[in-house]
Amino acid sequence: MNIVKVANYESMSLKACEKLTSFLKTTDNPVLGLATGSTPEGLYRCLIEKQQQGEISFNNTTTFNLDEYVGLKGNDPNSYRYFMNDKLFDHIDIQLENTHIPNGETSDMNAECETFEKELKEKGPVDIQILGLGLNGHIGFNEPGTPFNSRTHVVELDESTRQANSRFFSSIDEVPKHAITMGIDTIMESKEIILLVSGENKAEAVKKLVQGEVTEEFPASILQKHSNVTIIADEAALSQIKEV
């Protein structure tokens, strides 16, 4: 794993933005894997600027998002479809039909998982997957205990994850109990992975990710087995790893 240490959240976002910008400039039909959560918001702001300044275009870009809550409509402000439209897609020249996010409001979840996998197979593989890191080691919504060979599936969210994400809802009771997520094996098929992490509250999780045992009890640890992973982390997030 390649670890890039930066000073703070802004530098983390900028570094990731530079990497994606140079990739987009040199690739004809890029396929990006995108993430939600607070961590990639700065990256998305920077990408919007680059596109609006004419430095890059998303016209030929296809995207796949990691996950979506079950039961929220795409126009619900807490859905990840809404998040992506609001934070990125509505401000750039991407074709919305080329953006893929699991549909959390369908009644047949298994069919939705199959459709998502089929689209990934047809249009993928993902060239660069952006990841955030959950406090309990989740990537996408793959909670501790998720088999490493999992494909896109429906998960029951950990109480700790619902608690962490309740900051976006008016109360924890409104946080959905289930989500649909790319599986770990699905994520590992990406050609390259860039994991972004910022803040001291993630320091223990980063240490486990980098130096801990590879175990399904800490899903992100599987990234130690991927051949092309870059972790862009700020000093606070790396504060428990002495030698970086």
DSSP class per residue in 143-169: -TT--TT--SEEEEPPHHHHHHHGGGS
Active-site pick, 65, 67, 103, 165: 67
67 a catalytic residue:
yes
Within 8 A by CB and 6+ apart from 24, the residues are: 30, 56, 57, 58, 61
Residue with Cβ nearer ligand F6P (56 or 81): 81
Active-site pick, 100, 112, 138, 153: 138
Q: Among 192, 179, 190, 187, which residue's Cα sits nearest to residue 220? A: 187
DSSP class per residue in 192-223: EEEEEE-SGGGHHHHHHHHHS---TTSGGGGG
Q: How far is the CB of 175 from ligand F6P (least distance, A)?
A: 10
Residue with Cβ nearer ligand F6P (109 or 135): 135
Q: List interacting residues with ligand F6P (CB under 6 A).
A: 35-39, 132-134, 141, 161, 165
143 a catalytic residue:
yes
Q: Among 205, 241, 213, 225, which residue's Cα sits nearest to residue 133? A: 205
Residue with Cβ nearer ligand F6P (35 or 120): 35
Rounded CA separation 139/205 (Å): 11
Rounded CA separation 149/38 (Å): 27
Active-site pick, 65, 143, 165, 234: 143
Residue with Cβ nearer ligand F6P (24 or 155): 155
Rounded CA separation 13/198 (Å): 10
The residues carrying an active-site annotation are 67, 136, 138, 143
